Amino acid sequence: MYEDETALGVRMPSARRGPLRAVLRRMAIALAMLLAMFVLVAMDLDGYHDNADGEVSLLDALYYVTVSISTTGYGDITPVTPAARLVNIVAVTPLRIAFLVVLVGTTLEVLTKRTRDAILIDRWRARLHDHTVIIGYGTKGRAASRTLLENDLPKESIVVVDPDPVVIQEAAADGFVGVVGDGTRSHVLNRAKIGDARKIIIATRRDDTTALVTLTARSLNAGATIVAAVREAENDPLVRQSGADVVIISAEAAGRMLGVATQSPAVSSLIEDLLAYGKGLDVYERAIQPTEVGKPLVQGEELVVAVVRDGTYLTYTDPEVATLRASDRLVLIQSPPRRE
């Protein structure tokens, strides 16, 4: 289904195919070739001679086809007319060669796949830039990838890094390019071209690993937006000092959701709605429009809940956002547009 080792530990997206299905497919092709050769011989039985009794029956034709396509060729049945010999030259011999190719097809497929994967990886590296790297493809990493896809980010612009080869195989089956390796190592992240990435999502299983990955990623890319997840709130400052722009405290966020759901299930449902992109209400961020510069916040179809000014998050009730500036960005809530 997947090659054990590709160039530099990179796995390209690939369709999932089981070994039994591959064997059955080869058997079907071989039987089709055998049937095609039998039909050609059966159409001209008089063109063949059987050294045993001089006549060739359908059973003899099947016997001849079987020993011929396997290149055994006992010679007891032979083509004797010019037409039969021409059929053997033009059709039977090519089918015999194709049959042998099917028999050794596994080896040829591996060699072909290695060459094809090397070419695909070279092409992928040449055109990859401004992409998103997800380091850690567990529950958090998968959820992040689904959200990115829901925001219309193409699969080819997402690269997954994880130390588990089985996980990377799953990522490749999901349509993502995967890199096998430890995200704390520079050479592993360089395989994902992290230096050219625009966004980096760090969703490892341990907070100490997250801090090391963040530090490594930031040293390789000073301009990318790095979003990291940690379990414990006490590790938030450490990860931020390592270079993360945004830190999500997963355990505390889950605890807050549990508390909110206990006190007000409706509020909990609203929060879940806001987190699910494309359904109900969506939270998104946009730049200030020229017509809005110098004017106060106006609540219309878009519900403004916050303003980002010089990297600082300000709620809509903050007096500082009474007048909008050209560099401001608005955080809005709005129903998603219907897609035709």
Taking only the tens place, the pLDDT of each residue in 34-91 is 888 889 888 888 888 888 788 888 888 888 888 887 767 677 788 888 888 888 888 8
Which helix (DSSP H) or strand (DSSP E) does residue 132 occupy?
A: strand 132-135
Rounded Cα–Cα distance for residues 95 and 41 (Å): 13
Q: What is the pLDDT of residues 320-337, one digit of tens each?
A: 888 888 888 888 887 765
Residue written as token pair 């990435």: 197
Question: Measuring CA to CA, which residue among 211, 244, 181, 251 is closest to residue 5?
Answer: 181
How many other C-beta atoms lie within 10 A of the C-beta of residue 321? 20
Question: Looking at residue 7, what is its pLDDT?
Answer: 46
- Model confidence at 148: pLDDT above 70: yes
**Parallel, antiparallel, or unpaired for β 77-79 and 48-50?**
antiparallel
Q: What's the one-letter identity of residue 328?
A: D
Q: Which residue has the higher pLDDT, 182 or 299?
A: 182
pLDDT band at 109 (very low <50, low <70, confident <90, very high): low
pTM for the whole thing? 0.61
pLDDT band at 13 (very low <50, low <70, confident <90, very high): confident
- Cβ atoms of 293 and 326 within 8 Å: the answer is yes
Q: What is the pLDDT of residues 228-246, one digit of tens each?
A: 999 888 999 999 999 999 9
Q: Which residue has the higher pLDDT, 234 or 8?
A: 234
Q: What's the one-letter identity of residue 316?
A: Y
Question: Looking at residue 133, what is its pLDDT?
Answer: 96
Question: Looking at residue 303, what is its pLDDT?
Answer: 82
Q: How far is CA 137 from the centre of its chain?
A: 11
- Cβ atoms of 218 and 226 within 8 Å: the answer is yes
Rounded Cα–Cα distance for residues 106 and 46 (Å): 38
Q: List, in sequence order, the alpha helices (H) in the chain.
A: 19-42, 58-69, 82-87, 93-103, 105-127, 139-150, 165-173, 186-191, 207-220, 236-242, 250-263, 265-275
- Model confidence at 189: pLDDT above 80: yes
pLDDT band at 340 (very low <50, low <70, confident <90, very high): very low
pLDDT over 70, % of the chain: 84
**Parallel, antiparallel, or unpaired for β 246-249 and 225-230?**
parallel
Question: Looking at residue 134, what is its pLDDT?
Answer: 96
Question: Looking at residue 212, what is its pLDDT?
Answer: 96
259 three-state secondary structure: helix
Rounded Cα–Cα distance for residues 78 and 214 (Å): 74
**What order do you get walking across the sheet with 132-135 strand by strand?**
10-11, 177-180, 158-162, 132-135, 199-202, 225-230, 246-249
- Model confidence at 113: pLDDT above 70: no
Rounded Cα–Cα distance for residues 139 and 160 (Å): 13
Helix axes 105-127, 93-103, angle to 10 degrees: 70
- Cβ atoms of 197 and 131 within 8 Å: the answer is yes
